Each structure stands twice: as structure tokens, then as C-alpha cells.
Amino acid sequence: MQISRSLILPLLALSVSAIPLEVRQSSAVTVALSNDLSGATATATFQPDNIVRGIFSLYGTTSVGAGGTVKASSAFLNSAPQNINCVIFNGGVKIATLTNDKSYADLDGNPGQAVPVSLNSATIQCHV
């Protein structure tokens, strides 16, 4: 028995169209730290998977980590998925929250001055 092409082609087209296509969206978040006194700025990109990450491990080898100490006066979101929420803790105290609506944070607590703070023991945790 020979199956005709007119039967095979529609079946093949139907089976191919039934395969779900994977939609890839970049869900990574990029957070920048800036030392407004030295002019140093560095970014780190990671997944917003609710994992607590050490600031030193992310920025220790960058310009804001020069000399073995991560020092920054501000943080901001460079890119992030919708509904992002990032929290920065330093010494167990929340010093910043970054969201799509509030993408900049003054880390020293004094918006009138740019005072870099040591972030060697700080952490960041982001989730959507």
C-alpha cells in the first residue's frame, strides 16, 4: 500500500505546528553600583531567582571594588524584567530597595551627600 503525498504533507504540517515554541525572554537583572566620589561604576548581571548574593562576590573585582573593598554611594537598575524587586542589605539592615518604579537608591542614607559605604558584607536579593 502506498500512502499518497497529499495525505503525508498535511499530517507532517499538523505535527510540526503542534510543537510548542519556546519563548525566550531575558529575565536577567543588571544592577549598577556607583562611587560618586571616585567616579567608579560597575554592573553585575544575574537572574532574579530570589537567591541572596554577596555584593563582594559580584563586584569585588570591579572598579568599585578597587583595593579589596567594595565602596558605593548609589545603586540603580540598568535593566530588569517587569515587576522586579531587589533588596540590598548591609550588616543585616535594609539600605535599598530597587523596583521598576524606583530604579535608583542612595546607599548612604543622605541624599544631599555622596558618601560611599563599604559593601563587603552586603547582600542583594532580587525576585519577580
> Is a pLDDT exceeding 50 seen at residue 112?
yes
Q: Could you report the per-residue pLDDT of 39-83, keeping only the tens digit for each?
A: 999 999 999 999 999 999 999 999 999 999 999 999 999 999 999
pLDDT at position 25, please?
53
- Whole-number percent of the chain with pLDDT over 70: 80
pLDDT at position 22, please?
47
Output the pTM of the full model: 0.79
> Is a pLDDT exceeding 50 seen at residue 100?
yes
pLDDT confidence bin for 24, thresholds 50/70/90: very low
3-state helix/strand/coil string of the chain: CCCCHHHHHHHHHHHHHCCCCCCCCCCCEEEEEEECCCCEEEEEEECCEEEEEEHHHHHCCCHHHHHHCCEECEEEEEECCCCCEEEEEECCEEEEEEECCCCEEECCCCCCCCCCEECCCCEEEEEC
